[in-house]
Structure 1
Amino acid sequence: MTQTYEQTTHIHTNEDWLGKLTEEILEPDLPIIDPHHHLWDRLGPYFTDELLGDLTSGHNIRQSVFIQCRYGYRTDGPDEMKPVGETEFVVGVAEEAARKRPEIGACDGIVAHADLRLGEGVQPVLEAHAAAAKGRLRGIRHITASGGERFSGAVPNSPLRVMYDEDFRKGFARLQPNGLTFDGWLYHPQIPEFTDLARAFPETTMVLDHFGGPLGIGPYRGRGDEVFAEWKAAVTDLATCPNVYMKLGGLAMDVNGFDLHKEPLPPSSGECARLWRPYFETAIDLFGPDRCMFESNFPVDKGAVSYPVVWNTFKRIAAGASGDEKAKLFHDTAKSVYRL
């Protein structure tokens, strides 16, 4: 019988609470590409104005990449084509943002969703996304995060071992011929599955989102040292796959168990850096700046930390890096991977 230990949800944005702490922007001239954000109204509205408000809140954000989040789907037509509506919606936001702030390339890249379990039948969906994206399509994300029986409260909760599924892999095989990357959202016990997938498709550029989702709730709550050790062993193996890149961010989510949103005051960048530094430093050490990129994961992480503070956090963590290393971590790796 499946046991539900703890339900997880994304944290709703509380602007009044976030406003209780402000920080001076560190290194305000450092060029940044934000390679991971969403658009939706699930945690409070986050559309053109909210996105631009964050992108222009003090850091030198040059471009951004939208990552699928199951929003704006078509309401009719074949089920497999419904996610194309999200791409159409994002293009509308990108064009509106360009009219309002033409100096910022908001949503210059789009990572869309297509159900890779369609196998070779996913090709028409990829073509439809490409047509709808008007030159912005860069990759596909098929969420594979699954807690299994130990963590059935996971959100989302995909089928177990879907990355081994024969049809999924047939669909995955269509990405590289179409010039598309793959973004992976999963939880840390699944990283070995992602590694196996990377070895099966060495020519496909793959990006692991949010460090591979180290869990901190449900049966993993209070086991931070053990989770970190399991995660480190898994990503050490993954780092041997040269086609894999790591996104550094996403640790403010409820699922990670840091519970920053439950404090009387929002966290400072110093506090975030203290809590998260082991994950960042380990990933950068294993993958190198050439295969790492900082990400905001907004508005999901906005439930626990503001946009100026989250990028200050990254700058504190990277304080000892060289100028060339910082350029890669904040800008160049994302620009290369997503061909911006």
Structure 2
Amino acid sequence: MQVVDPHLHFWALGQGNQPWLEHPTPNLLGDYSPMARDIGPQTLLGERGDIELLGLVHVEADTVNPIAETQWLTGELAEYDKLNWALVVGVDLSQPAAPAQLAAQCALSEQVRGVRQILNVHSDPLYDYVGRHYMQEPLWRENFAQLARLGLSFDLQIYPSQMAQAADLAARHPETQFVLNHAGMYVDRQGVEGWRDWRDGMRLLAAQQNIAVKLSGFGMLDHRWTVGSIRSLILESLDTFGIERCLFASNYPVDGLYASYADIWHAYAEVVADAREEEQHALFVGNAQRIYRL
């Protein structure tokens, strides 16, 4: 099975760049201590099973020093000359130094394609990532405008309650490619209202033609997921955004806490088994290649 994986993470704990992994404390992921080990390209290649990896996109891994992460990754991935790869790097757009950091990231590697800054805010501390509404901050919005000048995309990680504001941001920056992470992170699953918030928010986002969506990360909020439990989320996303704006991803190694790498990809394949061959190719390979310029 051939795939381009547009969302995964590597790290080397000895660098001290991911403090959240040094002393794992259970959170929305549950017990994530199995991830507290060095994970790099060779680790992935040893755990991929029967998946033929044609390319990958590394997304910043909640690092305290994004520049050091990019330097390390560039060296690690340069050894794999037969593997197409790209980087979505970290930059804190709320900081005055953000424009200089964006320029520095681009100068480090020609494989830099985009930026991610996690934006998830939730009233429940278990699910709250950042504790502030970055998209409302004037300096953050001012620095965000620099992405288009540099030809960078933005990986958008939010909850449904933030989707209306994100749709407005995308409308104000039609020249910037947005990629919604993890199918919009359907977090409030206790009743009808949570489903409606997710569904309606996804439709608001899809109305902006510069937003695509990664179908990934299902295990983060559903640790016992099955093909049946993710089917409706995937099919609703496909109907809402269209095949051409959806791309499957593994969220390795995070979703490896709940299923093997190969099992994740085969589950996706089962959900879309009756799609046309060209549609399947787009979802598993072509859209990621196009959006991240692989």
Decide: shared fold, TM above 0.5.
yes
After superposition, the C-alpha distances for 1:281-305 in whole angstroms (9 at most, x for unaligned) are 0111111111000010011111101
TM value normalised by structure 1: 0.76
After superposition, the C-alpha distances for 1:132-166 in whole angstroms (9 at most, x for unaligned) are 22x1100000111111xx2122252341x311211
- Counterpart in 2 of 1:276? 230
Supply the distance in 2 between the matched residues of 1:328 and 1:213 (Cα, whole angstroms). 22
Matched, 1:39 2:10: yes
Matched, 1:138 2:109: no
- Counterpart in 2 of 1:103? 82
SS at match of 2:219: coil
Choose which of 154, 174, 182 in structure 1 pairs with 2:127: 154
Higher-Rg member (1/2)? 1
Equivalent runs, 1:247-326 vs 2, <5 Å: 247-253=214-220, 256=221, 258-260=222-224, 272-326=226-280
- Counterpart in 2 of 1:83? 66
What letter corresponds to residue 95 of structure 1 in structure 2?
Answer: A
- Counterpart in 2 of 1:52? 45
Contact conserved, 1:164 with 1:197, CA < 8 A, in 2? no
Matched, 1:222 2:222: no
Supply the distance in 1 between the matched residues of 2:237 and 2:176 (Cα, whole angstroms). 20
Contact conserved, 2:9 with 2:60, CA < 8 A, in 1? yes
After superposition, the C-alpha distances for 1:209-262 in whole angstroms (9 at most, x for unaligned) are 0011111xxxx4633x43222100111111110000000010101xx1x232xx
Supply the distance in 2 between the matched residues of 1:333 and 1:158 (Cα, whole angstroms). 33
- Counterpart in 2 of 1:192? 164
Matched, 1:245 2:216: no
What letter corresponds to residue 58 of structure 2 in structure 1?
Answer: F
What letter corresponds to residue 125 of structure 2 in structure 1?
Answer: S
Supply the distance in 1 between the matched residues of 2:78 and 2:280 (Cα, whole angstroms). 30
TM value normalised by structure 2: 0.88
Supply the distance in 2 between the matched residues of 1:233 and 1:92 (Cα, whole angstroms). 42
Supply the distance in 2 between the matched residues of 1:320 and 1:190 (Cα, whole angstroms). 33
- Counterpart in 2 of 1:333? 287
- Counterpart in 1 of 2:58? 66
Long gaps (5+) in structure 2: 14-20, 22-34
- Counterpart in 2 of 1:16? none
Contact conserved, 2:4 with 2:54, CA < 8 A, in 1? yes
Structure 1 104/54 Cα, relative in aligned 2: closer, same or farther at 3 Å? Answer: farther
SS at match of 1:39: coil
Contact conserved, 1:211 with 1:246, CA < 8 A, in 2? yes
Runs of 4+ in structure 1 displaced over 4 angstroms?
none
Q: How many residues are aligned here? A: 272
RMSD: 1.6
Supply the distance in 2 between the matched residues of 1:84 and 1:335 (Cα, whole angstroms). 24
Supply the distance in 2 between the matched residues of 1:295 and 1:158 (Cα, whole angstroms). 27
Structure 1 221/234 Cα, relative in aligned 2: closer, same or farther at 3 Å? Answer: closer
SS at match of 2:226: helix
Long gaps (5+) in structure 1: 1-27, 74-81, 261-270
Supply the distance in 2 between the matched residues of 1:190 and 1:307 (Cα, whole angstroms). 30
